[in-house]
Amino acid sequence: MKVSVVGTGYVGLVTGACLAEMGNDVLCLDVDPNKIRILEEGGIPIHEPGLDAVVARNVKAGRLAFTTDVARAVAHGTIQFIAVGTPPDEDGSADLQYVLAAARNIGRLMTDYKVVVDKSTVPVGTADKVKAAIADELSKRGSDAKFAVVSNPEFLKEGAAVDDFMKPDRIVVGAEDEQAILLMRALYAPFGRNRDKVLVMDVRSAELTKYAANAMLATRISFMNELALLAETMGADIEHVRLGIGSDPRIGTHFLYAGCGYGGSCFPKDVKALIKTATDEGHDLKVLKAVEAANDHQKTVLVDKIAKRFGADLSGKHFALWGLAFKPNTDDMREATSRVVISELFNRGATVTAYDPVAMEEAKRIFGDEPRLRYAESPMDALKGADALVIVTEWKEFRSPDFDRIKAELKTPVVFDGRNLYEPALVKASGLDYAPIGRAQP
């Protein structure tokens, strides 16, 4: 099948590469010539494990190509994926200008039947706006070319996106056009050889499904984080509670880990957008507002613990910080807890040396030439001259450190752990004070 993908960001590039991997002829379009240059030179503009190999393999095979030529991209694919950014507006709503611009380009240049697929995370009703934009452009030039608009939301986890796309739990297709449904089933058939994973539904239900899924996962995280703070106050252990409730099959084990708050490009944006959508429709989503407020508070918990130990004024104090990305296996720092922790430490007069396996370049872009923030070449290098260690991201390389060396390097033997990486008794036995979130202390 000939497929065009508009946007070579996180969703677009993974979508294009994985569809090419299954034998499709894919052309990826981006208006950013720098991104296309990087891709044509064999680079990858985002950090996603395994993606570089999939891209290289399919470029070499001639199934995957990149362009900045809009007309070429519109002419190429019968199926046109729109996978551009939908950044939040100031009021929390999703900004659809790039989605609608892509739709208008398709309507302006198409000459035959197209299936236009909304892959970006968009509010309910966006497909109607996309359909209207394309129809308007066709009308302007008196064209009677036929088209269908489909909602096909992505359910990719950053850090595991290639595996998620190649082995999906479900493939949601929102469509009414029978020919479009047939084409989408054919496109995705290789991804569900053992069972049919395609769930066909109406467009609006498909659009809402994506927001509902992310909102549910965010709710589980905030619920556990609030319970962790309660457990800490009452002398209970949130890890024991997690195991106790997670063994109930009605609840399950996923997204029950307490920590210092969620971040990234999806959960915060999608929760805000769903709240705004509901407000516009006259509904007050009280649960989701609480989820958002709980998460905002959770991002400050580590600094509150630090202030409790060292005092509210941290002037002259220096902290080692392990982890900058919002989660492991990505360099994404959008809405990352590290940004809140670093800024709060600065506000209290402290300085920071940070280490992250892949996100330090992104941190330099965000913080610029901030003199109070330095970067280390290794986790242990970050400890030099530090008063305490603060852990914000649960990278694997942080899971089994040399506690004796940590104690020797720190001025004060204390670890503030925002991801509950260690057993409290083990850390205590090494002579370190340990401040996790919601864990009972021995």
d(CA 293, CA 374): 31
Contact criterion met (CB below 8 Å) for 342 and 333: no
Q: Is the pLDDT of residue 194 over 90?
A: no
DSSP 350-398: -EEEEE-SS-HHHHHHHH-S-TTEEE-SSHHHHTTT-SEEEE-S--GGG
Q: How confident is the model at residue 214 (pLDDT cuts 50, 70, 90)?
A: very high
Distance between CA 76 and CA 4 in Å, rounded?
6
- Report d(CA 356, CA 375) in Å as an integer: 9
pLDDT band at 153 (very low <50, low <70, confident <90, very high): very high
pLDDT at 234: 96
pLDDT-derived band of residue 434, with 50, 70 and 90 as boundaries?
very high
Show the tokens assigned to 225: 């984080």
125 Cα distance to chain centroid? 23
Q: How far is CA 174 from CA 12, 184, 265, 296, 364, in A?
A: 19, 10, 23, 33, 41
Q: Is the pLDDT of residue 90 over 80?
A: no
The catalytic residues are 266
Inform me whether the pLDDT recorded for 422 exceeds 90: yes
DSSP H helical ranges for 247-327 = 267-280, 286-298, 301-310
pLDDT in tens, 20-40: 999 999 999 999 999 999 999
Amino acid symbol at 148: A
Q: CA distances (Å), 12 to each of 5, 51, 66, 290, 378, in order?
A: 6, 12, 11, 32, 33
What is the overall mean pLDDT for the chain? 96
The yes-or-no verdict on residue 199 having pLDDT over 90 is yes
Alpha helices in 66-117 (DSSP H): 70-76, 97-109
Is the per-residue pLDDT at 441 higher than 90? Answer: no
Is the pLDDT assigned to residue 442 strictly greater than 90? no
Residue 234 has which token pair?
Answer: 């009452």
User: What confidence score (pLDDT) does residue 96 get?
Assistant: 93
pLDDT tens digit string along 91-143? Answer: 788 889 999 999 999 999 999 999 999 999 899 999 999 999 999 999 999 99
Supply angle C-alpha 186, 189, 191, rounded to 5: 140
| pLDDT, position 192 | 87
Name the DSSP letter for residue 439.
P
Distance CA 239, CA 439 (A): 7
Q: How far is CA 98 from CA 83, 198, 329, in A?
A: 9, 27, 28
Task: Give the residue-averaged pLDDT of 330-339.
Answer: 96
Predicted pLDDT of residue 122 = 92
Report the pLDDT value the prediction gives residue 88, as an integer from 0 to 100. Answer: 80
Which whole number is the average pLDDT over 5-32? 97
